[in-house]
Chains A and B, each alone.
Chain A
Amino acid sequence: NAGVTQTPKFRVLKTGQSMTLLCAQDMNHEYMYWYRQDPGMGLRLIHYSVGEGTTAKGEVPDGYNVSRLKKQNFLLGLESAAPSQTSVYFCASSTPGTGVVRQPQHFGDGTRLSIL
């Protein structure tokens, strides 16, 4: 019962480098999300997807791109990493369900990313 799996778990980058974070879910969820967690600020939404081939911007999308080529995968890309992107990144998924507000989001274990 893997649920939501994020890779890698830790990464250190130099300013200007690029990388991709992978999120995979095996629950057949339609919706997937990328959040970042910074100290004292809770989680903030970067991008989300409501289905294969669709993505949309969240609260803090600048500097990130995403792709959802397969239903089970949601990729988060950093084209040119900056120190301000040092954070813990969480992927989550959920099903629309019968009640639009009722379904909980299931989270991965997070990716701790440091940009030097």
Chain B
Amino acid sequence: AQKITQTQPGMFVQEKEAVTLDCTYDTSDPSYGLFWYKQPSSGEMIFLIYQGSYDQQNATEGRYSLNFQKARKSANLVISASQLGDSAMYFCAMKEPGRRALTFGSGTRLQVQP
């Protein structure tokens, strides 16, 4: 079974609009962390935002926020007021205590249109 599922291979959004990128996860650990990374066409992986399983509030970092629904095991990334520079691949990832590394989803390619 997939640990991290990103069901949207590609998304389009108009500049200045908000967009939601979906991520669902599967774990039996009560303690885990969820991360979103951005990968622009230049290739680097940029850390965007983190949500811990015990965090009471949804995480926010500037224009990025995380819609965390623990019971549904979803951690969707919301980008408000999209900019052309937001065009990139976006990866959701999970860290479980028993695993040393992150488990990544297959990514969503976001294209922001002027």
- Name A's B-contacting residues (CB within 8 A): 31, 33, 35, 40-45, 48, 50, 56, 58, 88, 90, 92, 99-102, 104-110, 112
Contacts and interface: CB of A to CB of B under 8 A. Distances in A.
Contact of A58 (B52, B96, B101): B101
B104 interface: yes
A88 B41 CA distance: 13
Nearest to B91: A42
Contacts of B32: 101
Nearest to A41: B106
B45 interface: yes
Nearest to A40: B106
A48 B99 CA distance: 11
Given A48-B101, A50-B100, A109-B43, A101 B106 contact: no
A42 B101 contact: no
A42 B107 contact: yes
B52 A90 contact: no
B33 A102 contact: yes
A90 B37 CA distance: 13
B45 A90 contact: yes
Contacts of A35: 101
B90 to A, nearest CB: 11
Contacts of A48: 100-101
Contacts of A88: 43
A31 B100 contact: yes
B50 interface: yes
Given A101-B31, A102-B33, A110 B101 contact: no
21 contacts: A31-B100, A33-B100, A33-B101, A42-B106, A42-B107, A43-B45, A43-B102, A45-B100, A50-B100, A58-B100, A90-B45, A100-B95, A100-B97, A101-B33, A102-B52, A104-B35, A105-B101, A106-B47, A107-B44, A107-B46, A110-B44
Contacts of B50: 102, 104
Contact of B91 (A43, A50, A112): A43
A101 B44 contact: no
A26 B64 CA distance: 28
